[in-house]
Chain A
């Protein structure tokens, strides 16, 4: 059987709707002004069926009721109740109607109501609605009597997660004998015949029929209905039914994000949604957000201008500080049709986040918390002092220099008897905490009455870095209230506050620490720490005794919205939203001198001062304020088989940002307050600056569908932005999309019952992207601090300088996107498929027309809108769900994204353009160029007979291809040696296995078609005296001609350090990105405790990785491997519900 929502409301204008088989008496009743009681006409005497009543109410109030048809199929209502209805007050009427039936309703969106079972406080048993037994047919009474009736109990869980499902309807087939499950998923049903069949149904899950066969205890695992056709999805400035969307959008349930023990939601999104390419560049607390690129790289713009627009609850906002526990859903808008409402901000894709809201019912409380430890995913196996010294000696020998270390010294490094003079430090493990703690605690409350609903949550996160002085903490508070002020008016107030703090040491940073520990050889006299504990290098005092650098950020998001249905036209409503967002950030950077020790020539420990000469303090405060005003007009109506849906929004955003900073040097006292610093004015400094921004836009969307089969949508935005010159500020961004639900055609619908849904859709449209900076159209002078005149009594003067040439024609980037998609669902949602092919042409990208003016021109010439790039690819997702006879339930979803761009027009100089090997045009952006390595020179003769390379070349050095045959290796010989860093392929496989309360959730995520490059320390040993890896021991020798590394030298040679294919590595990887294994404690064990539900779990992030370079993380963002390494996390958690 199929669980589906039946939506009747929209059908009100269809005169001969075949579905309406029931009598129209109820409609008449309700339609009549005074609800005259004439129940005689109904088949069931003084009762009418609930579905009829709802149907009639729907028409009257022009709303839709969504419900499980099974839930109300047998329900009836006394006509007496109808008499008590008051005209014009739907809420009251519904309450009167539903309460006796133990049903509740919930208003979702403006005109949608969901009707479901009431949740009980203690839960397991709901009194059987006796109206059923008295009223409607309860089946053959003889049959009822023919078997002994019994009590049946059991538990209903989610087959995927194993989580208990409350509120699930359990009904004895053919009767109205039913109940719903309690908060822990348990139910109890009395008077059930031993041969009865139980009907288990719940919104969003597939209904099950379970024959009792005499059993008294029946546990049921419900499978999520993966293809909920009438699932509502969030789209730009509204919601749509999934079945009628014609644009490419992917959604992710917020629940899924909670399976990853990470601080930043970006890190849990990667790999879970088709259409997103992801790259996590750092593991540093507070700055480890994965870069998300919707459908890859479509522009050469950088930073913010290359990122997707992020929208939280309808307002463009930053998402990185959000608490994952607050998130209801994440939606990615990918094609032109989906992003058109965002105009010039949408071309890089849009990520919409909807946060959780309250639902009517008892207040429920949920606590979730976990504690974990973190350590670097991967780092090279560095040589110890003895091996390092031996390798250096070998390197010296190679270049004809005496060994650096004598045999006695080597011996001392080996036996470690004199660690103060012959140290051997494992800098990584001695400095970095491999059990760095991380923890999160979330508490949420939700509940309310039919008219007032609320959701509140409180979150805390603490993430310690590899050293305790680097840490990140975040507090999130969110609260929202929805009030149905009148049956046609909804008022919502949302407030979110975030406080986050990132702490660093005063004189170093995460990257600084990693730079030192991955570079310092194990044996330098300036060693990490002497045997008596004194630091011998400044690293440890820098970490622990150099003051602090504290960055605090307070975020405040608030919005008030009022939605009003308009009485004069059916289906018309208006909404006003005012959002006020404010961010305060405050940095305090306190630096103090620190001490470390050097052994002097008498072997005495001599203190060495490091860092600042006297304490200094710098403070910086900035505030960013954005006010967004939105006015919505929506119209939804159905005329026969024609349904229209119209949206118009006017939006205005004004932003103000300012910054104020001050500092003092030379503190006499160790008190970190500005006013207590030096009172010499020379030690003072201050700064302040502000900017302003404005944008205005008009969004419209017209959707039309015929009979749910032929879908049409036109959406657009007329947008204006202050960046540009007057007259150049506005543009129109339209998109058109079409869809055809082939599965609704009679020739398929009736013949192939296994085909739930088959839809083809396509879209084409234009959108924009801001690039560059404001005021590039203006010719003007900048102001800066400048020269110092006046000798020792110097004073600094100001200077003004000519800014880059203006371009009054400057404008935004224009994207033209085409998308063709296919959506299918088979066998009751057992398999789901969604696939898209896309093509985008981005034009007007800002470029410097480099070849047109000589360098002698003397001023930065203006950028022009000339760059063209195309980007094409596919994204797809496959879903399946299966329940094995053993009771194991499997849900799996696979997603795959491929995006490859190509520069169609860029300005490069003739030297590269005219050489097909070097030409950037026509290749992917940031393709890697360099020399083509041909292995090693094996003999002097080979070198003699080859092109001139770089410096002193010997056998064992890298040999490069002389592409132009001129006998010299010059930049003219460069060729493509690798792909860009950001992968062109990202895929993910989410699998959920559950069995009797045990749930296993795994995300395998992979990337392909990218190259990483190894340079400097990451390439050759002894770069500026740096460390060497175990791998480096496999170097070229006459007896090792196929070594992994070239001949070893005391410092990398110029020849071997050239950018070449030798150092390019495949960037593909596959990793177990997250894993969670959970167990829900059986209700029986909890029943005495008062706890509704209790689940324990262990989880992890980045647990296993496969990649070509096995000694570095494949998401290597810095080709020298000098950055805060990505982290792996092991955690343990607990989830309690009351």
Chain B
């Protein structure tokens, strides 16, 4: 009774008071607001662009996409090794071959890509129904289509076929929200179709304020690379020829400077992920730089292998093994391919206002070779130079700002040329167009043209070496090793370092095995990455890749 006496008035009081505690959130927009005008809808598109990532997302450590992180994708190849740092996935999981569904290397990638795909699906659905004018709608849809295809490709590259989801799922309305994996072929077909459609509607060039958006060339490059990776050589050759015929792209004269911020969006760049210091910066320059430079420090996260260095030709177009006449064992770094000097820091090379020594015997030197890498030193006797911005002082970031602002190039014209050469060589053998494309790339590097009369296999080998050198550290090598099915040969044996000692005033160069550099690779399963166990656990329709 007493209770009722209290509660009744209370109830009346509080029904009246419901409004007294009404608060509207001050930082959120409603659905109606967002899709009212193209300007508003474009804010959503901006966010999809902001989800772009160069390379997959690793599970451990800094948890930023590979190509701006401290363990880029080439550390998972014979091109480079990471430092010996606990938790570095290439060292701890990949080299040991211990990655699997429960401890994947690219754990968050699966979920993040599907988040991005949902954004695209939502955008496509909402914009299609928004009633904006046709030109606006077409452009917006084409960009979203390209972006969705890009996200799918980054999944397909790692895992093979993945569930193809093209609409916004709603668990309260849709009967089925658990999709099985589509076949690899179906995914490739999907990406090709989408790129085709996008390419038709996208502009060839962009106004300066729009640089960074998708273009026709970008859609075609995405399509072409997909085709090449899928072994669809006819299609790949045709697609790349189309890009070449657009006449929009050309090689940037300076291979090293092509990656610098001041040359962003130069005519060689087809598509890149855009960064800007402080605003949307990254820490790549700190991660990748040698441990000690004159005005700062780096983590030395990318140690190029001797095996890669050996691939850089001498100026006579031959490697040491091929009997280069300008190769001097006492001065192995002279007379090299100009890309060598733009890509690799070797013993005695100048960087950031001082020489970097990797030779043994110099006191107080944290850059010296230590094959085990245990002292935080270099494991190979080399450090990376390519893609580092010489104006960024590494290790000196402030106020939580990331000072690296160089863009991460996803597709550039040199790759188009090499892709074309490879596809065309597979289709028709080394015809003139193959030579032309290859020699264009070599010419910029300061190398002589390829010798005439190569057979298809000979050309294939030259293309592969050219590709390894030209695209080193750009995150393409792992996929190349996989699709060429040569990973099992390249791995399972030690990679090499250069030990340099001084004796009587002369330097002695000695090719040694880098400690712990044998990558365990199981061809029965490792040509695909395992699908994270989380994904499998939450979708009974998902089938794991074989043998994981």
Chain A residues in the interface with B (C-beta under 8 A): 392, 396, 401, 404, 421, 525-526, 589, 591, 593, 598-601, 603, 606, 608-613, 616, 618, 648, 652, 663, 665, 685, 689-696, 698, 700, 702, 714, 716, 718, 720-722, 726, 729-730, 732, 734, 774-775, 778-803, 850-859, 861, 909-911, 950-952, 970-971, 1016, 1022-1025, 1050-1052, 1054, 1057
Contact = CB atoms under 8 A, between A and B. Distances in A.
Contact of A665 (B29, B103, B364, B398): B398
A789 B47 contact: no
Contacts of B278: 665, 685
Contacts of A797: 43, 46
B398 A613 contact: yes
A854 B177 contact: yes
Nearest to B44: A800
Interface residues of B, number: 104
A1121 B364 CA distance: 29
23 contacts: A421-B363, A591-B398, A601-B363, A608-B296, A652-B20, A694-B20, A714-B3, A718-B7, A775-B25, A780-B30, A786-B47, A787-B52, A792-B264, A792-B265, A794-B274, A794-B276, A799-B50, A800-B40, A856-B114, A861-B171, A950-B98, A952-B96, A970-B102
Most buried by A among B47, B100, B213: B47
Contacts of B21: 694-696, 720-722, 729
B280 interface: yes
Given A404-B375, A800-B34, A608 B7 contact: no
Given A616-B399, A1025-B376, A791 B213 contact: no
B6 to A, nearest CB: 5
Given A798-B46, A800-B44, A855-B538, A791 B208 contact: yes
For the complex of A and B, the 3 pairs showing the least CB-CB separation, nearest first, are: A858-B118, A799-B47, A854-B539
A607 B13 CA distance: 72
Contacts of B3: 714, 734
A526 B297 CA distance: 12
A787 B429 CA distance: 43
Contact of A855 (B34, B52, B111): B111
B292 A598 contact: yes
A609 B396 contact: yes
A853 B23 contact: no
A7 B183 CA distance: 87
Given A778-B25, A792-B261, A801 B537 contact: no
Interface string B192-213: 0000000000000000111111
A788 B29 contact: no
Contact of B539 (A726, A730, A775, A855): A855
Given A404-B375, A611-B396, A789 B14 contact: no
Contacts of A803: 28
A108 B2 CA distance: 30
Contact of B398 (A421, A612, A856): A612
A401 B366 contact: no
B114 A858 contact: yes
B169 A799 contact: no
A1051 B374 contact: yes
A702 B6 CA distance: 11
Contacts, number: 291
Contact of B213 (A702, A784, A789, A970): A789
A606 B275 CA distance: 33
Contact of B86 (A401, A663, A1016): A1016
Interface in B27-59: 27-31, 33-34, 40, 43-44, 46-47, 49-50, 52
A1025 B10 contact: no
A854 B86 contact: no
Contact of A610 (B23, B396, B537): B396
Given A729-B18, A1023-B86, A781 B29 contact: yes
A911 B535 CA distance: 12
B225 to A, nearest CB: 23
Contacts of A853: 171, 177, 538
Contacts of B297: 608
Nearest to B6: A700
Nearest to B291: A526
Interface string B340-375: 000000000000000001000011111000001011
B259 interface: no
Contacts of A791: 208, 211-212, 264-265, 274
B84 interface: yes
A949 to B, nearest CB: 10
A1051 B100 CA distance: 23
A608 B294 CA distance: 7
A715 B286 CA distance: 61
A951 B98 contact: yes
Contact of B17 (A692, A720, A796): A720
A857 B295 contact: no
B23 A722 contact: yes
B114 A787 contact: no
A396 B375 CA distance: 12
B428 to A, nearest CB: 38
Nearest to A724: B21
B538 A854 contact: yes
Nearest to A610: B396
A791 B275 CA distance: 9
Contacts of B372: 396, 401, 1050-1051
B92 interface: yes
B27 A783 contact: yes
Given A732-B7, A775-B28, A1057-B86, 12 more contacts: A591-B398, A694-B21, A698-B14, A720-B14, A722-B21, A789-B49, A855-B539, A856-B535, A856-B539, A857-B171, A909-B538, A1054-B92
B524 interface: no
A799 B376 CA distance: 40
A790 B212 contact: yes
Contacts of A618: 399
B208 A790 contact: yes
Given A718-B14, A720-B17, A909-B537, A857 B49 contact: no
